[in-house]
Structure 1
């Protein structure tokens, strides 16, 4: 039985503004709404079954998240980040997630390692079965889990925020390339081995190289468009 003071017993229902914000943030983060798309409040209100007011509130929150921008006579537009922003994004990720891996190597528990290996094995199974479209989300979960283990107080939160700030279109995922998928699964294995060995230097180096390689792949893909 839940105690009177439990969080579950007093969970507040999601407001309409929160609902709109969560839907739009997820759509932008997963690039289902691509950069440069204009967001018309009236159209969004009709599509999501709410009034204009919560839509406008959600758009203001997305602007603070730097996911949309406002321009005169255009309204809200999903930010289309530049090539320079792409490079900076992966550089920041490499630093934060590299540090997360370093710290995780010093404090990871056997149970946490078992959970990470189970997630990795699921990715290996999906890759072998050709379910490449499932790998991107699983990889994100693995990376953020390591950051959360390494920096549960602050660093993990920053890793989540950075990831959410730059949408990766599903069609641009390196995991859709079988050769890239196999390479990165090998890197994940090396990373988990370093965590198990409590080797912070190797864990950090593998993570940094891994993230930078992802950035190089994305940048090359942009130039080919």
Structure 2
């Protein structure tokens, strides 16, 4: 579909799914919370039918489960799942960085550097609440460049599979920000040099550090 062609409107089920996915992903709906279709329908201004469809999709994503007499409940994942989540992210995003080193264009590299510069400015001015989402964008852009056919979708699926509360972000910890920006700078330098091995190593270490930080909070 070209940029000038009209895009089909989002269905009500897609809308409900997108809202609930973001609320679960960001832990605004915490693990263990019951999700009642009627309440969601009223809150989002839709009928119960698209809510039930969205809940079935979230069940397939393994983000909610159905229990007798309880209905849909957000899955509460423990420490083992947390370790698996960051380990899988490290593998997928590390591979994306390695592949991106041989494929990245000057325009794509400039876009990443612009995003990195915006993060550095926000950090310098104390706007750390913006850094987590900007970092997500930074990582996913790299994976998209390295693996546009499959890896980008896998990276998003992995990231959406485990709730990360906004307050759990290491980007909110002033003692962590400089080291994380340095890691991004190292990845950018490796991408510019076409050094896939170094880009992968730094990305893996960077993601695994985030996992270690969260497990010890």
Q: What's the TM-score bracket when you normalise by the shorter of the two chains?
A: over 0.9
Larger deviation: 18-27 or 205-214?
18-27
Q: Structure 1: which 5+ residue stretches go unaligned? A: none
Q: Deviations over 1:141-163 (max 9, x none)?
A: 00000000011111111111111
Q: Deviations over 1:93-141 (max 9, x none)?
A: 1111111111011111111100000000000000000000100000000
The equivalent residue for 1:170 is 166
The equivalent residue for 1:187 is 183
- Secondary structure at 2:5 match in 1: helix
- Secondary structure at 1:107 match in 2: coil
Match of 2:106 among 110, 115, 118: 110
**TM-score when normalising by structure 1:** 0.93
Q: 2:19 matched to 1:26?
A: no
Q: 2:114 matched to 1:101?
A: no
Q: Deviations over 1:142-199 (max 9, x none)?
A: 0000000011111111111111111210010000001111110011111100111111
The equivalent residue for 1:38 is 34
Q: Deviations over 1:63-122 (max 9, x none)?
A: 011111111111001111110000000100111111111101111111110000000000
Aligned length: 217
Cα drift, residue 8 of structure 1: 5.0
The equivalent residue for 1:139 is 135
Cα drift, residue 11 of structure 1: 2.1
* Divergent runs of 4+, >3 A: 5-10
- Secondary structure at 1:168 match in 2: coil
Cα drift, residue 7 of structure 1: 6.5
d(CA) in 2 for partners of 1:51, 1:200: 49
**TM-score when normalising by structure 2:** 0.97
* C-alpha RMSD of matched pairs (Å): 1.2
The equivalent residue for 1:63 is 59
Match of 2:193 among 185, 194, 197: 197
d(CA) in 2 for partners of 1:6, 1:96: 29
